[in-house]
């Protein structure tokens, strides 16, 4: 498969690196379009494929066109892209909040897949949910699913509207996780630890806890109970969390992110 990537920021390059790492695409079959001269210079050192700063008719020769520009920049590239697309191509968009219908109308192109990855995709440990227009054929969908899975795992959604919830839950999710980790590290510093020691304690705790969730034959409530002995230190912390409605605050924050995603999707 020949692939053109429009916009080579962190996520665009995460996809490119994953495809190359698993030999899913040859370097000579990559076309990278990037307007930033600084980023083009960095790309040249990486040498992932053909690099250009302009949208040209050459794009029409590629099987898959990945849109990874910022949503607010889509309008500035869609006009030129519309002129060079051909009907046999598939468009894969990883732009947050830009619907399949908007992309179809802007590009005058029907075969569109919209995906929402998250930043762990840069390590091959992401989760990407995606939806497709009816014009995307099953064999095309399977090929692109294989490509997406190179960045981690994927979930196909029949209802595109659910991508707003995905954006709030897993798309923005790493930031929530980092927020909690930061607060825990700060608490450690307040208790007298050097930042490096506090960070080590917290990060290893998070890593080990993740593996417990994945391997232990227990529910989350059971895992909490196993740590929180009656009248102990963990119970004291949990009581404080409950008094501050921490769980409800987190849930309301995620729902606020979903609402904002809906607003962005409407333009």
Annotated binding site for NADP(+): which residue ranges?
6-11
Instruction: List % helix, strand, coil for the chain (3-state, nearest 5).
Output: 60, 15, 25
d(CA 104, CA 95): 14
In a 13 Å sphere around the CA of 45, the CA atoms on its Cβ side amount to: 5
Q: 74, 98 in Cβ contact below 8 A?
A: yes
- Geometric angle at alpha carbon 167, from 241 and 224, rounded to 5°: 30
- Annotated binding site, which residues? 6-11
Q: Provide the pairing of β-strand 64-67 with 50-52.
A: unpaired
2: nearest Cα among 27, 23, 22: 27
Q: In what order do the strands lie in the sheet with 152-156?
A: 50-52, 30-33, 3-6, 64-67, 90-93, 112-116, 126-132, 152-156
147: nearest Cα among 123, 162, 134, 128: 128
**How far apart are the two ends of the chain, measured CA to CA in Å?**
33
Cα dist. 233→92, 151, 200 in Å? 49, 39, 21
DSSP summary character for residue 167: I
Q: Is 15 helix (H, G, I), strand (E, B) or coil?
A: helix
């Amino acid at each position: 498969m020949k692939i053109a990537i429009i916009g080579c920021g962190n996520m665009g390059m995460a996809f490119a690196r994953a495809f190359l790492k698993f030999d899913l695409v040859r370097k000579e079959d990559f076309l990278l379009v990037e307007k930033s001269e600084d980023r083009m210079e960095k790309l040249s050192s990486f040498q992932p494929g053909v690099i250009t700063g302009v949208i040209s008719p050459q794009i029409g020769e590629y099987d898959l066109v990945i849109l990874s520009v910022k949503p607010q920049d889509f309008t500035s590239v869609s006009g030129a892209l519309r002129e060079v697309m051909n009907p046999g191509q598939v468009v894969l968009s990883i732009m947050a909040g830009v619907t399949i219908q908007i992309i179809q109308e802007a590009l005058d192109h029907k075969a569109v897949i919209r995906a929402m990855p998250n930043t762990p995709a840069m390590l091959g440990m992401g989760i990407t949910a995606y939806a497709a227009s009816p014009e995307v054929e099953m064999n095309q969908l399977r090929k692109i699913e294989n490509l997406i899975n190179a960045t981690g795992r994927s979930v196909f959604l029949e209802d595109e509207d659910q991508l707003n919830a995905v954006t709030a839950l897993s798309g923005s999710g790493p930031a929530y996780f980092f927020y909690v980790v930061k607060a825990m590290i700060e608490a450690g510093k307040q208790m007298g630890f050097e930042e490096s020691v506090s960070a080590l304690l917290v990060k290893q705790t998070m890593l080990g806890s993740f593996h417990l969730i994945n391997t232990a034959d227990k529910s989350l409530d059971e895992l909490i109970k196993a740590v929180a002995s009656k009248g102990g230190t963990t119970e004291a912390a949990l009581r404080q969390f409950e008094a501050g409605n921490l769980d409800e605050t987190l849930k309301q924050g995620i729902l606020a992110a979903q609402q904002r995603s809906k607003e962005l999707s409407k333009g």
